[in-house]
Amino acid sequence: MRNGASPSSQRRQFITAAAASLALPAVAQSAPPVPKETPVEKLERSGTRVVGFADAEMDYQLMRQLGATRYGGASVGECLAMARRIKDADPESWVSEFTAAGQRQKLDADARLKRGHGTSARDQYLVASNHYRAAEYYCIASDPRHALLGLESRACFLAAMRAGGIACEAFSLALDDIALPAYYFRNPAARGKRAKTLLIISGYDGTLEETWLAYGRAAMERGYHLMLFTGPGQMDTLRLYPGIQFIPEFERIGRVAFDHVLARADVDPDRVALMGISFGGYFATRIAAHEPRVRALIANSPIIDLHAYMASFAGFDPAELPDSEDIALADIDKIPPGAIPAQTVAMMHNLMLRVGGGSFKRTYQRLRDFRVAPDKLQAITCPSLALVGEGEGKEPLAQSERFCQSITGQVRQHIFTREEGADGHCQAINLAYSAAVSMDWLDEVFA
């Protein structure tokens, strides 16, 4: 955008359309405007109301937070109370409210722990951790608060593990000059014997802590050792290396992760599974295509072409955008307030920072490298489970079908439905059912 001029109407149309590709597919429906707080003047059961946001992406993020209540990552009441105070489609308002909630919950957890209430402290630390993560989500990666919020989320999570007596080993995997954050949980039910193990990698904006809440806790309840790991460009890594971007070759991270986990004496090498969530569906598929030590694969959802996946939500390919309509990273802060929704600007900024290229067009051109070649898909010989929601859109469903048709090993596809309340991206608002489908399948494979 030259000389800070206002974007043309054509560019506004481009940005509006492209915004859909920056938010992972949500199925949130439009909601009525959030009402202001009003004094209670008559007897009623509660002043809290079940009202979300008119903005679909922010409504999805609210549902994502509500979904975390299943495994202790949020409180319905607090989430709904914050929703009434957050300004619709205003990222800064969201960051402020969730940061304040995280701070309040952490202080409460600290006080309860000092009084000897370990269980209560664990629960409050977990909620604080996930609320810091929610604030981290809407904070631009170059903002100094981004890393601080993420590190607070991590600290609260580890405090929850200690308070709850859960053995959590925090360590790192070495890749070039980067120390990639990871967690390992030894399942006490194994009693020192070699046991089945699940490795999970999240995606674009998931974190190790949220992954434990979404699927890790469910896996441990079913007797699995658990390893959560991350790669360049992911949220956990950004906290320590804000300039490191995603790489297509996630098999490099997979090789290091499997070297590490298989060196552990308590891991049964014949029962080691890999699960990928969101963008992690691409990461895990790419790893399994190069890594024969994967004994079972769960892709939620299977992404074999990340560029096509992202471009489909814009309705056109931003990689083919005329140069005259491109927006450079260096110019994004010059966009006049109100010309483009603040949420769209934040999403564009984060995508360009984390994928690279220096402009929106070149970012999408870079995404073309993130794919799994057909011959590599055929190299996946382990049993595989493809998970996808019917509300995610045509491209995710089509890629899931191509995944199922292309791999060599036995494969099962499960399409979550709207009736189940699980048709959205990664089944964020019905995690227990998603865990039942995936973990029961894995138990049967490893039986």
pLDDT of residue 93: 97
Q: Which sequence spans correspond to the domains of the chain?
A: 47-166, 167-305+370-447
292 three-class SS: coil
Share of the chain above pLDDT 70, in %: 90
47-166 CATH: 1.20.1440.110
Residue 3 exposed, middle or buried by CB count within 10 Å (0-12, 13-18, 19+): exposed
DSSP lists the bridge partners of residue 305 as 371
**β-sheet with 411-416: strand ranges across:** 169-175, 178-185, 225-229, 195-201, 267-277, 296-300, 384-389, 411-416
Q: CA-to-CA distance for 269 and 199, rounded, in angstroms?
A: 12
Question: How many CA atoms does the CB half-sphere of 80 hold within 13 Å?
Answer: 10
Over the stretch 395-410, which tens digit does the pLDDT of each residue have?
Answer: 999 999 999 999 999 9
Averaged pLDDT, 13-33: 45
Tokens of 300: 């939620």
- For residue 183, the surrounding DSSP H or E stretch is strand 178-185
Q: How many CB atoms lie within 10 A of CB 341?
A: 17
Res. 95: pLDDT tops 50 = yes
Over the stretch 113-152, which tens digit does the pLDDT of each residue have?
Answer: 999 999 999 999 999 999 999 999 999 999 999 999 999 9
- E strands in 193-323: 195-201, 225-229, 267-277, 296-300
> 167-305+370-447: same fold as 47-166?
no
Over the stretch 254-307, which tens digit does the pLDDT of each residue have?
Answer: 999 999 999 999 999 999 999 999 999 999 999 999 999 999 999 999 999 999
What architecture is domain 167-305+370-447? 3-Layer(aba) Sandwich (3.40)
Res. 394: pLDDT tops 90 = yes
